[in-house]
Amino acid sequence: MNQARHAELFELLDITGEDAVECAELLDRNPSGHAREAMELLQQRLGTFPADSVPPGRIPPGRLDEISWIEVLLRFAPKVHAYHLELGINAKVSAATLADMGLQLRINRRVHGRFGLDTWSWLTLHMAGNLFRLGRLQFHLIRNKHQDGSEASVPHGSGWVLGVHIPEDGGLSPELVDASFEEARSFFSQYFPDKPATMATCESWMLDPYLVERLPDSNIASFARRFTLDRCTDAPSDAVYFTFRKRGLENLDQLPRETSLQRIVLERIDDGGTWQLGHGHLAL
């Protein structure tokens, strides 16, 4: 194993510590036939603006396991970086986007106590070349669903929308969010002028009206109020996962209740309530 040989890649993906050691071991082995097939699939998706991640079981005759998908993402990331640069996108924006892989590896260690990536499917969106980290937020350029004959994701707007995602590594002050949206407006009009997005969408437990009601003066509530709420769907475990980085709803009595957010998340469940995913939109 020669970890130094992969230093440039690990810097690009912000992979550090024990994760770097284990990722180097994956790269020092020969890729399997299924891994090559997965990379071919990612190559087919690159630059096609897919709305959905690659689902488990997509690679026949059996699905690749989680560790194999880490290998696939590692091997394919340089192609995505090169694609970004070919479009003229700043290398720092590309690196900020792809650094989500290192962050997700670290989150996996916090959740499961081991090397792994249970969010590998999420990262296949980054590998399609239409999701970017711009300041505090991530933006995913996709077709409005009504263009494909199905229910529209937003009630009005062009054939393109920006899906907004919220990485965990930072606050949500109005100033940071404003700057991120301003950067997104400039970025997508410059690099994708033929795909004008006039609306942004967000699907998040942070848009649950219950949270806005209980924490009206918080940065989370300020963020949520930017969006017009279209509907809500039940997402019982989302608030627990994103607040505590814990899968499932077992042993909630062992979780800390040190902050207002922690208490509100757990007290709602204690009272028999169900957390929801808010689906909202705003005009760019």
Tell me the pLDDT tens digit for each residue of 31-62. Answer: 988 999 999 999 999 999 999 999 877 776 56
- Residue 95: pLDDT band (50, 70, 90) is very high
- In degrees, rounded to 5, the angle at the alpha carbon of residue 233 between the alpha carbons of residues 259 and 180 is 60
Q: Decide if 100 contacts 78 (C-beta within 8 A).
A: no
Residue 259, judged by CB atoms within 10 A of its CB (0-12, 13-18, 19+), counts as exposed
Question: At a CB cut-off of 8 Å and minimum separation 6, what does 173 contact?
Answer: 219
Q: Decide if 240 contacts 261 (C-beta within 8 A).
A: no
pLDDT > 70? residue 17: yes
Q: Decide if 25 contacts 74 (C-beta within 8 A).
A: no
Q: How far is CA 65 from CA 51, 57, 99, 221, in A?
A: 23, 9, 22, 38
Tell me the pLDDT tens digit for each residue of 212-228. Answer: 999 999 999 999 999 99
- Residue 272: pLDDT band (50, 70, 90) is very high
What is the model's pLDDT at position 167? 95
Query: Per CATH, is 132-284 categorized as 3.40.630.120?
Result: yes
Q: What are the residue ranges of CATH 3.40.630.120 in the chain?
A: 132-284
Question: At a CB cut-off of 8 Å and minimum separation 6, what does 77 contact?
Answer: 9, 12, 13, 98, 101, 127
What is the model's pLDDT at position 158? 62
Q: To which residue do tokens 């970086």 refer?
A: 81
Tell me the pLDDT tens digit for each residue of 167-204. Answer: 998 899 999 999 999 999 999 999 999 999 999 999 99
Q: What is the DSSP letter of 259?
A: S
The three-state secondary structure class of 250 is coil
Q: What are phi and psi of 172, to 5 degrees?
A: -125, 45
What is the model's pLDDT at position 60? 61
Question: What percentage of the chain reaches a pLDDT higher than 90?
Answer: 87
State mean pLDDT over 253-275.
95
The three-state secondary structure class of 21 is helix
Tell me the pLDDT tens digit for each residue of 142-159. Answer: 998 754 444 445 555 569
Q: What are phi and psi of 171, to 5 degrees?
A: -85, 180
What is the model's pLDDT at position 162? 98
Q: Average per-residue pLDDT in the chain? A: 93
CA dihedral angle for residue 187, residue 193, residue 197, residue 198, rounded to 10 degrees: 90
What is the model's pLDDT at position 149? 44
